[in-house]
Structure 1
């Protein structure tokens, strides 16, 4: 199409130029005037070519006209192809949605906003969801008002094109980013949240409990004599031991809080809405559940199986600056328990 227009325009230009030169020679028109006429003729043909090129380019876009009542009065063939699968469909078959899949109120549609404000809107991402099939289409929409001589708004011109593939690409990228974020907050060995997630979650829960003026608890756990366990059974068995303990901790805490691998053989549990009694009771149960795993540990001085020591602290959050102090308090309780450990199996 482009090649045809270009060659067709060139032929017209040459034919017109020959006619002008011939007429000029026959009527003895001065050469300067002849050149000026030729130049004007060439500029006109270039303008025609550009206009035809723009028209051909617009064929790829849907265009529609909406009257002052908000009703679509005209739509081109490309627009019908984009919007409607068959001739029986109409705009009533589609629901307007935003990028989150929520319905867009009729008064907030681009055409309605342009009708109301008499101002164009550019690069508006609009979703259409079919009321029957649930199929979604995404459009990039531009609207321009058509004003009468008295500045009364008569109609709105809508130019649109389908960009569903862009939204799909964006969603894929968002999913990948979410996966990467999840990996960055997850301990690679045990699959539970890591130290980084612990710090983020602690501050979030701290702020929530501070606003609600409710208590929260922090339990720190450490596997007893874990270095001796690794030296005796090897690091592979040490990794298996960590995985088993992480799993039983998560199953025991369940929905009452969240378990983290704090580092090495140390774990942490954050409990929202938990007072001192609740945290102490759960800490005791966690110790019992780990012992029930019956993971052999021949060099443990207290028991023939792997055990954990715990330290707990409960508090009603006040200033954000005190977060580290309460973490240190739970840690101190933990190491006090390790020093004084004297459990029977």
Structure 2
């Protein structure tokens, strides 16, 4: 809470005490002074953007609400009769949570704050913050609630922009900037998540590792700019060959990885074969390749049903070994392993 809000709350408490509490035993001169004092506080309060209010706890009726409410929301002060009017003019998505919170805090005698969207007379919504002070009587029972409403719409807009920017930056941090597929960080996060899910449900999890054949020769012959374009095209082919929900990422250099949840060994091999055929169908020229002078790839495939203390890193290493078997067996082929636990 900023200094202005603190000052306004203190000022409002003084105002409401002077304005709402009769001084039955005071002398006429003191009463006159207090009436003048209350008028000063009222003028000050009603010239601020903060909107003061008071609710009688016994009747749940508004004893007072500042005239600024009409300028902000379009509803005349006279239309704010009970807490039902306050709740009814709250966004439906906010109403239950905010009302329950405020009632619980008030019953406990705890000062509190609540943010919510308030309906205007034009049918629009404005973000408000209610800062609430619980007033107790001599016995310690809740007597009334006093507080201020603040228009925090601009603050919320700024917060939403910052949140959107944060989400965008987070998404970028999980994306390979060259190919647009997931990066190594995204793969690690996806593997951890899918491994836990497979372990819980005793479901199969498959991994496909892909390595572009003779890519160093490709870069040496065509140059790095063309090499980058080759990587982008292969990433696009791999992405087109999997289901929504499957993960495609760049593991490093010319190596890619596919993570396939709820996928058995036969289905995983079919995915790898589909990727191999689609890469061949692209017919990306590769003069230095012995395979039809086009770009090809080697595939390592593994399937497991995680159990007990099984290690996902060990599983990745196992599939990586299959990839090297494929490369040792002449490249442009698939090597697979099926492992339980």
How high is the TM-score relative to the length of structure 2?
0.76
Q: Is the 8 A contact 1:125 1:138 kept in 2?
A: no
Measure the CA separation in 1 of the matches of 2:128 and 2:195: 43
Q: How much does 1:129 deviate?
A: 4.4
Matched, 1:94 2:94: no
Q: Which has the larger radius of gyration?
A: 1
2:244 is paired with a residue of what secondary structure?
helix
Give the equivalent residue in structure 1 for 2:68. 78
CA RMSD of aligned residues (A): 2.8
Q: How much does 1:154 deviate?
A: 3.0
Structure 1 segments, 4+ long, off by >4 Å, are 51-55, 85-90, 131-134
Measure the CA separation in 2 of the matches of 1:308 and 1:56: 76
Matched, 1:119 2:107: no
Structure 1 segments unaligned to the other structure (5+ residues) = 1-47
Q: Deviations over 1:76-130 (max 9, x none)?
A: 1123333435677853652256xxx5543464152x2344222322xx2411243
Matched, 1:307 2:273: no
Q: How much does 1:161 deviate?
A: 1.1
Q: Kindly tell me: are residues 320 and 75 of structure 1, through their superposed partners in 2, closer, same or farther at Cα, counting changes over 3 Å?
A: farther
Equivalent positions of 1:1-345 (< 5 A) are 56=44, 59-60=47-48, 61-68=50-57, 69-84=59-74, 91=86, 94-96=89-91, 102-105=94-97, 107-110=99-102, 112-121=103-112, 124-130=113-119, 135-255=124-244, 257-319=246-308, 322-341=311-330
Q: Is the 8 A contact 2:276 2:332 kept in 1?
A: no
Aligned length: 290
2:177 is paired with a residue of what secondary structure?
coil
Q: Is the 8 A contact 1:95 1:131 kept in 2?
A: no
Measure the CA separation in 2 of the matches of 1:239 and 1:270: 23
Q: How much does 1:156 deviate?
A: 1.3
2:330 is paired with a residue of what secondary structure?
coil
Q: How much does 1:321 deviate?
A: 5.9
Q: Kindly tell me: are residues 143 and 125 of structure 1, through their superposed partners in 2, closer, same or farther at Cα, counting changes over 3 Å?
A: closer
Measure the CA separation in 2 of the matches of 1:199 and 1:157: 52
Q: Is the 8 A contact 2:268 2:301 kept in 1?
A: yes
Q: Is the 8 A contact 1:96 1:104 kept in 2?
A: no
Q: Kindly tell me: are residues 240 and 343 of structure 1, through their superposed partners in 2, closer, same or farther at Cα, counting changes over 3 Å?
A: closer
Q: Is the 8 A contact 1:114 1:143 kept in 2?
A: no
Q: Is the 8 A contact 2:45 2:52 kept in 1?
A: no
Q: Kindly tell me: are residues 227 and 210 of structure 1, through their superposed partners in 2, closer, same or farther at Cα, counting changes over 3 Å?
A: same
Q: Kindly tell me: are residues 176 and 134 of structure 1, through their superposed partners in 2, closer, same or farther at Cα, counting changes over 3 Å?
A: farther
Q: Is the 8 A contact 1:213 1:317 kept in 2?
A: yes
Q: How much does 1:58 deviate?
A: 6.7
Measure the CA separation in 2 of the matches of 1:184 and 1:134: 40
Q: Deviations over 1:160-186 (max 9, x none)?
A: 211111111111111111111111111
Q: How much does 1:324 deviate?
A: 0.8
Measure the CA separation in 2 of the matches of 1:164 and 1:291: 55
Q: Kindly tell me: are residues 183 and 71 of structure 1, through their superposed partners in 2, closer, same or farther at Cα, counting changes over 3 Å?
A: same
Measure the CA separation in 2 of the matches of 1:134 and 1:294: 59
Q: Kindly tell me: are residues 161 and 227 of structure 1, through their superposed partners in 2, closer, same or farther at Cα, counting changes over 3 Å?
A: same
Q: Is the 8 A contact 2:118 2:128 kept in 1?
A: no
Q: Kindly tell me: are residues 315 and 114 of structure 1, through their superposed partners in 2, closer, same or farther at Cα, counting changes over 3 Å?
A: closer
Structure 2 segments unaligned to the other structure (5+ residues) = 1-35, 334-341
